[in-house]
Amino acid sequence: MVVGGGLLGLEAARALRLLGLSPQVVEIAPRLMPVQVDEGGGALLRRLVESEELAVRCGVSVQEIVEDRGRLLAKLSDGVELDADVVVFSAGIRPADGLARTAGLPVGERGGVLVDDRCRTSDERVWAVGEVAALEGRTYGLVAPGYAMAEVVADRLLGGDARMTPAEIDMSTQLKMLGVDVASFGDAQAVTPGALEVVVNDPVAGTYAKLVVSDDAGTLLGGVLVGDASKYAVLRPLVGAALPADPVAMIAPGGVELGADALPDSAQVCSCNAVTKGAIRAAIADGAHTVPAIKGCTRAGTSCGSCVPMLKNLLVQEGVEVSKALCEHFSQSRAELFEIVAGAGVRTFTELVGRYGRGRGCDICKPAVASILASLGSGHVHDGEQATLQDTNDHFLANLQRNGTYSVVPRIPGGEITPEGLITVGEVARDFGLYTKITGGQRIDMFGARVEQLPAIWRRLVDAGFESGHAYGKALRTVKSCVGTTWCRYGQQDSVGLAIALELRYRGLRAPHKIKSAVSGCARECAEARSKDFGVIATETGWNLYVGGNGGFTPRHAELLASDLDTDTLVRVIDRFLMFYIRTADRLQRTAPWVEAMDGGLDHLRAVIVDDSLGICADLEAAMEAHVAGYADEWRGVLDDPEKLERFVSFVNAPGTPDPTIEFVSERGQPVPVPRSGEPHQPVAIGMPGVRA
């Protein structure tokens, strides 16, 4: 049983449902999510929730919960008695007002330190803002009122006379609940005297929209959207403004399309950070010509993000052309070049730049075209002119380090390696004087190899059965795994076996950026699959697939794309996912920003690659089959070809002479580059055991 039919209560109920339980949701108000939606929206919401096999009881309260032979018995206000194993309470937030209580400041009846309309507590030296502050006895759990309170306090501290009036508090929200979009804004419950309500209710399509307008039908006061909240971004800023069109047409399907031009300059486009359309237009005029630039200088779109489509809209309206040109040599985007190369069958850079670009290319377009050619299966990456397009990593099939040496990473699929394999790696590193380190991707990186050493190192590795790990490429890197059912007491599926199969399937796949993956054997997620471009987590009956995660500069969790897939279906969906990414992403765009930038986001992605809404899935799968069939180890390809081996020399006129500028010192028993001059080399850690003085 879940007590409370708000957002968190419903999500908790769904989680219980997914665990195989049959939860009952008990809500004291007459409808679900009573704060956000009105009666009509609540009715639709209830239907959608019940279709998820969740039982709902509204308008009843819990009188008593007693223990009854090891189970719990909840007595409800309508006389019904519910039998439960688990009771989850999700009936409102409780402010963490302990500090105020200890300090003797008065608190509200339902918690929260009491403040007046200046956000001042009973002690005039103490102010409170945000969720802990009870304004006229009420607390607000949203970010916008918190910011508004902070503004008031800042103004007061500077001697101003700003006030908070509860009536003006912006309680607009947009959220997704059990996959259903819900939004409410302004006077959603139509409490303004004389307010009129305009409703478009389509139970068949599962959408409900209501606008609340002033008694003269001239001003928008608020509204509720359930099932489709796409108009939220444009409707919310119009609150308080003159209606630009007939209110029915504004919410009816196929009605008027409202753009940014419908808004007055005073309208708040970003309500989280109180940024008006006028402020954004000013920022655009001052040179903020991209969404990130606008975010950077106005903070619009940096909290909930629901106004980002509006920011794009404003850019277009202000006449900013967003250039998609790859570089000075191509006016096309990477995705367009991919289509040209694939469609027109162009197979060399010279032909491509001659027919579709200008000049002789650069370090931006050449590797991008090299990657496109490789994704389309064009033989060895060093064949013919392709060799001239590769950046140094792809040109020497190793990772350039700061002193001009390279690091070497053999593939260790799934992170599984035999003792003999470990011994080979250890012996190679020892014999060539390499520094070794375990990577985050469950393999071993050997550092400090000079170009002329690379072929000999790889001869040894290839003879021992290793192949290129593509650590140097914008390509599939690793598929990490936990030990799953092989060893783990909790394992639900063979995560190692799947990880190895996936890594072998997608090895060598070139992409707009690197691709990382992992497979966990159960929901404990020891392989950290949700921090990967595609991550797989075992369930009792199959696999859940998550996409669009990454670590790095902007860490992001992958999101659930499909659940309980059998292995064949899983592989098919990943095939489509990867090929769709390779075809349509920008240069150096990882899967996370790619999904984020997609119109329609994850839902659109799911429609395309799970439901085949564009009818391209067969094509994507065929492309992946061609990749799998055409795979060959790049390092073996070099070792077998004297011409390709020719470039692995330190100097063209002194092939065996090591570069005299490369020097090593020893640190913790291993060779490392000499510290840069002018930069004293010091251990970073302080007060940690084992660090040398």
Q: Report the interface residues with ligand SF4, using CB under 6 A.
A: 482-484, 488, 490-491, 495, 520-522, 524-526
Q: How far is the CB of 582 from another protein (least distance, A)?
A: 22
Instruction: Report what 525 binds from another protein, ligand SF4, none; CB cut-off 5-8 Å by kind.
Output: ligand SF4
Q: Footprint of another protein on residues 319-338 (CB under 8 A)?
A: 328-329
Q: How far apart are the first and last CA of the chain?
A: 60
Round to whole Å and give the CA distance between 342 and 369.
Answer: 11
Return the number of the residue (410 or 484) whose C-beta is nearest ligand SF4.
Answer: 484
Return the number of the residue (155 or 525) whose C-beta is nearest ligand SF4.
Answer: 525
Round to whole Å and give the CA distance between 121 and 241.
Answer: 34
Round to whole Å and give the CA distance between 610 and 617.
Answer: 8
Return the number of the residue (506 or 635) whose C-beta is nearest another protein.
Answer: 635
Q: Which residue is nearest to ligand SF4 (CB)?
A: 521
Return the number of the residue (227 or 414) whose C-beta is nearest ligand SF4.
Answer: 414
Pairing between strand 399-400 and 173-177? Answer: unpaired
DSSP 469-513: --TTSSBEEEEEE--HHHH-TT--S-HHHHHHHHHHHHTT-B-SS
Residue 446 has phi, psi (to 5 degrees) of: -110, 120
Q: How far is the CB of 648 from another protein (least distance, A)?
A: 11
Return the number of the residue (216 or 643) whose C-beta is nearest another protein.
Answer: 643
Which residues, 6+ apart, have CB-to-CB distance to 283 below 8 Å?
293, 294, 297, 298
Helix/strand/coil for 661: coil
Residue 163 has phi, psi (to 5 degrees) of: -135, 155
For 453, half-sphere exposure in the C-beta direction (CA atoms, 13 angstrom radius) is: 20
Measured in whole angstroms, the distance separating CA 384 from the mean position of its chain's CA atoms is 39
Q: Name which of 516, 514, 533, 545 is nearest 591 in CA terms.
A: 533
Q: How far is the CB of 490 from ligand SF4 (least distance, A)?
A: 4
Measured in whole angstroms, the distance separating CA 649 from the mean position of its chain's CA atoms is 43
Return the number of the residue (195 or 387) whose C-beta is nearest another protein.
Answer: 387
Instruction: Report what 360 binds from another protein, ligand SF4, none; CB cut-off 5-8 Å by kind.
Output: another protein
C-alpha separations of 693 from 403, 670, 686, 689 in Å: 25, 17, 10, 11
Helix/strand/coil for 555: coil
- 659 in contact with another protein (CB under 8 A): yes
Instruction: Report what 602 binds from another protein, ligand SF4, none; CB cut-off 5-8 Å by kind.
Output: none
Return the number of the residue (389 or 617) whose C-beta is nearest another protein.
Answer: 389
Return the number of the residue (94 or 524) whose C-beta is nearest ligand SF4.
Answer: 524
# chain residues binding another protein, by CB under 8 A: 37
Q: How far is the CB of 488 from ligand SF4 (least distance, A)?
A: 3
Between 349 and 368, how does the x/- string for binding to another protein read (CB under 8 A)?
A: -x--------xxxxx-xxx-
Return the number of the residue (9 or 484) whose C-beta is nearest ligand SF4.
Answer: 484
Amino acid identity for residue 360 in this structure: R
Q: How far is the CB of 526 from ligand SF4 (least distance, A)?
A: 3
Q: Footprint of another protein on residues 34-53 (CB under 8 A)?
A: none
Round to whole Å and give the CA distance between 212 and 247.
Answer: 9
- 668 in contact with another protein (CB under 8 A): no
Q: How far is the CB of 685 from another protein (least distance, A)?
A: 25
- 389 in contact with another protein (CB under 8 A): yes
Instruction: Report what 111 binds from ligand SF4, another protein, none; CB cut-off 5-8 Å by kind.
Output: none
Q: Which residue ranges make up the site for another protein (CB under 8 A)?
A: 328-329, 350, 359-363, 365-367, 387-389, 391-393, 395-396, 400, 402-404, 646-647, 650-654, 657, 659-662, 676-677
